[in-house]
Structure 1
Amino acid sequence: MTATTEPDSQGAHFLGATPFFASGHDQRLSYGLFVPHDHTPDAKPLPLVVVQHGTGRSAERYRNQWADFATAHGCVILAPLFPAGIGRRRELHSFKFLEYDGIRFDEELLHIVDEVGEEFNTETETFFLHGFSGGGQFAHRFYYAHPDRLAGISIGAPGRITQLDESLPWWLGTAGFREKFGIDIDLEALRRVPVQMVVGSADVETWEINNAGGPNWMDGVEKTGRTRIERIEVLRDSFERNGIPVRFDVVPGVAHQGSAVIPVVQDFVAGLLATR
């Protein structure tokens, strides 16, 4: 192979499954992408789909599982990585509640999205967001804070929910949201965002979500149900009471497995991409 026909040794790493890059705003955080191989800097910007990991931080696996979808539907997949143990060893849950130890994970995601838009020729004014389990916790709370940035939201099996209810304290509900985050919840904006909720029909284990006294426990959680199915039903009802339509998917035979609900989530996102 001559020098004129050799691939760009740098550029090859910015297509397909990329390395994980440190965020330019907070280098404790990082992100990986899947960029379709035929996408070029001078092409029309591609839609962006953000797939948020859960407690296990399996960002790379989720990114790879969405690669074929990205190629087939002409979009870029962004998989943020918010490491465990920031600020305190063995800490697992920080990002799920948007703020921890001075870090605003919702704002950090927006910094990453904007950086990706600059570097990878993607649409970032609005984007699609999916999260499962701990990622589902982050996703629906991010939606409360930034509906104007979302083209669609898919909330998967959150073990702890925040209802749209001003009578309940944060994070069981949204009382004090403005005082904590400096943002008013905009119901009209929330109603404009297409919403999916998804859970497996066999997602009934409770050992991780009924841990009274744990670092991610708040008295009152028990009133939202024992299983993730019951809790996401309560969250759906909270949305619908506030005039927010929900596509509600229960995936037959699936337990608490984020990978197993991906086809149903992709069906939701593909429908939205088709009308974009």
Structure 2
Amino acid sequence: MSAGAETVALKKGEALHEADPRFASAWTLAPSGKADRPLLIAVHGSARDHLQTRDAFDDLAARQDINVLAPLFPADVTCPGYSDGYKFLREPGIDYAMLVEGMVAAFRARFSLGSQPTYLFGFSGGAQFALRYALVAASKLSGAVIAAPGAVTLLDAELPWWPGVAGIEQAIGRPVDAQGLKQLQVHLIIGANDSNQGLVARGSDHPDYSPFADVAGADRHQRLAALKESLEKSGLKPGFECLDGIGHELGPLAEAASSAIENWL
């Protein structure tokens, strides 16, 4: 925590999701305890480090008096060895968009919070979730920060889901929220030294295989640039940061995300 945040006592907690205890969430409450403070949903990467993801926004919570909610989406929920379902919003029997909305509703009910502006952050695998959730639920969000995704979905209605959005409603049960996207603030972040650590190539036997997986580029930098261009072609004006000297690291990207969210606030 920075010197400015050390003077603020942050109340934290974690619990299983009552509606489906296979999942859990951790939170930091806005220091003031007021019911009208904004909410940041912070989504972990493939390491499932949801507590570290929550704690990466301690300074932001203290400075801006906001709530932070960090879901935990475990691996091997429906199939041993399968860990990617949340990134693509669906796996058999699980709708991750509905799941996170249920977590938010339960969190607000637990602490008698109002439906204030909601922001979304995702790092790496969590950035894939954040991007795809924002595409279908933009109206529920005030802003989304996409940090170093390993794969992206372009707003291309001729490219099949998931590299594009053709057939998205048939695939995951929700269409693109085109009206909501027009109002959504988006910020894209990547480390200049991101060397593709953990970048996944999915073979034809993988549940999320697509022959178009590399259409946005061969690495994270190319793919994030392609996403930026796709969003701009759709009328959005995403912010973009490439952080000098930074690799595939949660901490520095969360710090940059905090600055972007503060500007929106």
**1:67 corresponds to 2:58:** yes
- 1:206–1:226 contact (8 Å) kept in structure 2: no
**Structure 2 residue corresponding to 1:80, chosen from 71, 80, 83:** 71
- 1:48–1:76 contact (8 Å) kept in structure 2: yes
Deviation at 1:186, TM superposition (A): 3.0
| C-alpha distance in 2 between matches for 1:262 and 1:38 | 22
**1:54 corresponds to 2:48:** no
Distance 1:214 1:227, change over 3 A: farther
Equivalent positions of 1:70-219 (< 5 A) are: 70-124=61-115, 126-205=117-196, 208-213=199-204, 215=206, 216-219=208-211
Secondary structure in structure 1 of the residue aligned to 2:61: helix
Deviation at 1:153, TM superposition (A): 0.4
Counterpart in the other structure of 1:33: 27
Aligned AA (1:65): A
Distance 1:260 1:88, change over 3 A: same
Counterpart in the other structure of 1:6: none
- Cα RMSD (Å) of the superposition? 1.8
Alignment length (residue pairs): 256
| C-alpha distance in 2 between matches for 1:72 and 1:86 | 36
**Structure 1 residue corresponding to 2:13, chosen from 12, 16, 19:** 19
Counterpart in the other structure of 2:5: none
Q: List runs of 5+ in structure 1 lacking aligned partners.
A: 1-14
Greater CA deviation, 243-252 or 61-70? 61-70
Counterpart in the other structure of 1:258: 250
Greater CA deviation, 140-149 or 251-260? 251-260
Counterpart in the other structure of 2:219: 227
The structure number with the bigger radius of gyration is 1
| C-alpha distance in 2 between matches for 1:92 and 1:117 | 28
Counterpart in the other structure of 1:5: none
Deviation at 1:67, TM superposition (A): 1.5
Task: Give the percent of matched residue pairs that are identical in Structure 1 and Structure 2.
Answer: 26
Distance 1:231 1:214, change over 3 A: farther
TM-score after normalising by structure 2: 0.90
| C-alpha distance in 2 between matches for 1:158 and 1:142 | 13
Q: List runs of 5+ in structure 2 lacking aligned partners.
A: 1-8
Deviation at 1:205, TM superposition (A): 2.6
